[in-house]
Chains A and B, each alone.
Chain A
Amino acid sequence: MRKLQSEKTDFGYTLVIVGVVVTIAIIFAFVLPNKKIPDGLPNDYYDIISTIEKSKANIYVYSDTIDFNEDYESINILSVEGLPDWRYGVKNFLVIDMEKYTSEDFATEEQIEDLYNVQCYYVLIVNNGSSNSTTLENFIDPDDSSSDLITYTYDQCHVNHYTGVALDDFPSHQMIMYAILDEIKRIVDES
């Protein structure tokens, strides 16, 4: 009788161990490899990052808070001095957070204009409206200044430049970072 009880207990332990192993296997197989998308962001978040990475675009960022959750490795800069000149086949993006850009230590307006109009950088101005910034008041069209994401882009550099204005009241910092990446991805796709 005791032997029978012992065999039942062993069988129970075996079942528990098998169950735990299977559960761990499922977690490793389906849960852990899927990186978590920040709350409120669409499912294409990592696809966008992957497209930008494959494009080999250079994204230079001047900000204390725009880090793309370290899911995308942008190039943080402290000044526009030393940024590379235009080179055929290379797409350069300059993301400027107006919360941080309060002095000419980073750049003068003329330098920003030169990077856009001459060196063919795509320039993304972030948080201009929410910061009530006037640092680039001669560069930014007054009609656009209330936006928190203004894109200076072109179909063909030196020929047909134009601006794109996001009219969103971005609900979160995550959403602004997503919108920046989404905008860059569209430019990469369409150019």
Chain B
Amino acid sequence: MLTLFATVNVDLGSVHADSTAVGMGFDVSSTQYGDAKDYKYYSTYTYKVKNDVNYAIGWSKVKGAVYEDQTNSNWALAIIQVTSQPKDIKIPWGIFNIKRLYDGYTYNQNIYSDIDGSFKNFGYGAYITGTGFLMEQPTPRDEPDTFSYTASVEVSDQIKASGSVTFDDNELDLYFGHQADTQEFEVDYRYSCSGFDCSYRNAMTYNKAAFLVDMSNSNNSTAGNFVNTIKLTTRFHSQSGPDSWQMFGIEEELSITLFY
């Protein structure tokens, strides 16, 4: 695993940062990228069914914005922020249906894209998750922190690298992969305990990713130029109580499609 620091068209220190991007923890130059062309989020609860009753054990969200490069319309910049919130809940359990605490936690969040299953060329570009940005991650913290969040990968006509990063407190491991031949892009945020402290994976957390899309070969749709579809999978587990013995937890999928 090799971590590369991509030099991309995201202005790292811009004083003209777009406020939409700032709200998502990014610093995107409004001079180069203008206003977001598309900006929205999708969310869903994850349920565990017991005795025909749905019990909400988690909530996840994927929020995305896309920008057109004002200096080169062949490029679009997509920024993604994903959120996970495990929910503690009492669920009837056992032969007497006594309610026990389902102490939920996030096992991982996975962002995946195969370009909506089409044969659209993902294009050459650079993928970056930012370095030194004011981030909302990891939470909970009173203020966004300036972690050195340095996973990035540069993609060109040849695969150069895939990157991996570990946060300094070891609460979140990030795995990143891209396969040009199958047009796949994937980043996996895996939650882990810091020593005996597992509070982080019980909290509401935010992860983010960004990438450039080659629009010179973009698809069209009735909504405009199709940029990308991202699939988010969030997996919740139970730390104690019902289902804590289960290995795989419960997964929930969301997808977001960005246009302009």
Check if A171 sits within 8 Å of B54, measured CB to CB.
yes
- Which chain A residues lie closer than 8 Å to B20 at the CB level? 155, 160, 162
Q: Are B45 and A175 in contact (CB under 8 A)?
A: yes
| Interface residue A33 (Cβ < 8 Å from any Cβ of B) | no
Give 9 new A-B contacts, CB below 8 A, not counting A43-B87, A172-B54.
A39-B53, A42-B57, A44-B88, A160-B20, A160-B39, A164-B42, A166-B43, A167-B42, A167-B254
Question: Inside 8 A of B55's CB, which chain A residues have their CB?
Answer: 40
Task: Report chain A residues within 8 Å CB of B101.
Answer: 43
Tell which of B39, B44, B56 touches A41, judged by Cβ atoms closer than 8 Å.
B56
Query: A7 in the interface, Cβ–Cβ < 8 Å?
Result: no
Nearest-neighbor residue (CB-CB) of A183 within chain B: B43
A residues contacting B by CB (< 8 A) are 37, 39-44, 143, 155-156, 159-160, 162-168, 171-172, 175, 178-179, 182
B40 at the interface (CB under 8 A from A): yes
**B36 at interface by CB-CB < 8 Å:** yes
Q: Report Cα–Cα, A171/B39, bound state, in Å.
A: 28
Known contacts A160-B36, A167-B254, A168-B45; A43 and B54 CB within 8 A of each other: no
Contacts of A171 in B (CB 8 A): 47, 53-54
Size class of the B contact interface (CB-based, 8 Å): 20 to 34
Write the nearest CB–CB distance from A145 to chain B, whole angstroms. 14
Q: Are A167 and B44 in contact (CB under 8 A)?
A: yes
Residues of A within 8 A of B90 (CB): 37, 43
Contacts of B53 in A (CB 8 A): 39-40, 171
> Within 8 Å CB of A178, what residues of B?
56
Q: Check B54–A40 contact: CB distance below 8 A.
A: yes
Q: List the interface of chain B (C-beta within 8 A of A).
A: 19-20, 23, 35-36, 39-45, 47, 53-57, 59, 61, 63, 87-90, 101, 223, 254
Top-7 shortest CB links A-B: A171-B54, A42-B87, A155-B23, A162-B39, A42-B89, A167-B44, A164-B41
Secondary structure of the A contact surface, majority rule: loop
Closest chain A residue, CB of each to CB of B50: A40
A13 to chain B, nearest CB (A): 33
Q: In this complex, what residue of B is CB-closest to A179? A: B45
User: 19 A-B pairs, CB-CB below 8 angstroms?
Assistant: A40-B54, A40-B55, A41-B56, A42-B56, A42-B87, A42-B88, A160-B19, A160-B20, A162-B40, A164-B40, A164-B41, A165-B43, A166-B44, A167-B44, A171-B54, A172-B54, A175-B54, A175-B56, A179-B45
B202 to A: closest C-beta gap in Å: 12
Q: Nearest chain B CB to A140's CB is how many angstroms away?
A: 13
Residues of A with C-beta under 8 A to B19: 155-156, 159-160
Nearest chain-A residue to B59 (Cβ)?
Answer: A182
Residue of A nearest to B23 (CB): A155
* Smallest Cβ-Cβ distance to A167: which chain B residue: B44
Q: Which residues of B contact A156 (CB under 8 A)?
A: 19
- Tell me the smallest distance from the CB of B245 to a CB of chain A, in Å: 21
CA distance in complex: A42, B59 (Å): 11
State how many angstroms separate the Cβ of B113 from the closest Cβ of chain A.
Answer: 18
Chain A residue, CB-CB nearest to B46: A168
Separation of A43 and B58 alpha carbons in the complex (Å): 12
CB pair B41–A43 under 8 Å, yes or no, is no
CB pair A44–B40 under 8 Å, yes or no, is: no
**Contact at B87–A40, with CB atoms within 8 Å?**
no
Question: Could you say which residues of chain B place their CB within 8 Å of the CB of A168?
Answer: 44-45
> How many whole Å from B17's CB to the nearest CB in chain A?
12
A88 CA / B57 CA spacing, docked (Å): 36
> What's the least CB distance linking A177 to chain B, in Å?
12
Distance (Å) between the CB of B139 and the closest chain A CB?
A: 11
